Chain A
Amino acid sequence: GQSLEQPSEVTAVEGAIVQINCTYQTSGFYGLSWYQQHDGGAPTFLSYNGLDGLEETGRFSSFLSRSDSYGYLLLQELQMKDSASYFCAPGGSYKLIFGSGTRLLVRP
């Protein structure tokens, strides 16, 4: 089976750094993806980690540790527009399962 755990909500101040964790258990795992979803919109792809370590894309970075079945999304220099829900999704089987999502609220 598959299971995913993410914090349900995170609050941070504009300009700060926030880390959203994801622990997973899945068969045939080969990578972890992250998605962003603004209220009322569809999820959009942010990043993918196929290998252990840190992947950086602008203000966003994502980390994977296969041995710990753990990953995180790091958002730097937070902006108000980063207020959204963030989902992790392990790549393994054809089933594409998403975590329950972390709602990030950025305050001025």
Chain B
Amino acid sequence: SQTIHQWPATLVQPVGSPLSLECTVEGTSNPNLYWYRQAAGRGLQLLFYSVGIGQISSEVPQNLSASRPQDRQFILSSKKLLLSDSGFYLCAWVETGPTEAFFGQGTRLTVV
């Protein structure tokens, strides 16, 4: 069966520090992968999506970047965090066509 792993679950980072969040999927190949951010009580903001290795589409210009070094690995990074980067980060995958998405447990990031 397919599973998605996202870590860490919670993270507290100082302003200006780097960030690396990792997401891996098991039990499937060539998934479409997505990174979202959710502010408290708000909707899901699509940050990046990838349809294949090395293929990254950015939805929101900001100080975040994403990479897909392997088929089932999706990484969200930042060189210098801002206070406004705080939020709930969610990784998701879709097997074929955006019909049913499966989400990781999420990472609650607090920038202090």
Give the interface of A toward B (CB within 8 A).
30-31, 33, 35, 41-45, 48, 50, 87, 89, 91-101, 103
Q: How many chain B residues touch the partner (CB < 8 A)?
A: 25
Tell me if A43 and B46 are in contact (CB < 8 A). no
Complex partner residue of A89 from B51, B57, B98, B105, CB under 8 angstroms: B98
Tell me if A45 and B100 are in contact (CB < 8 A). yes
Give the interface of B toward A (CB within 8 A).
32, 34, 36, 41-44, 46, 49, 51, 57, 59, 90, 92, 94, 97-106
Tell me if B100 and A98 are in contact (CB < 8 A). no
Tell me if A96 and B43 are in contact (CB < 8 A). no
Return chain A residues, CB-CB under 8 Å to B99. 31, 33, 48, 50, 91
Main secondary structure of the interface of A (DSSP, over half): loop
Nearest neighbor of B104 in chain A, beta-carbon distance = A42
Tell me the complex Cα distance, A89–B36, Å.
13
Complex partner residue of B49 from A31, A43, A89, A94, CB under 8 angstroms: A94
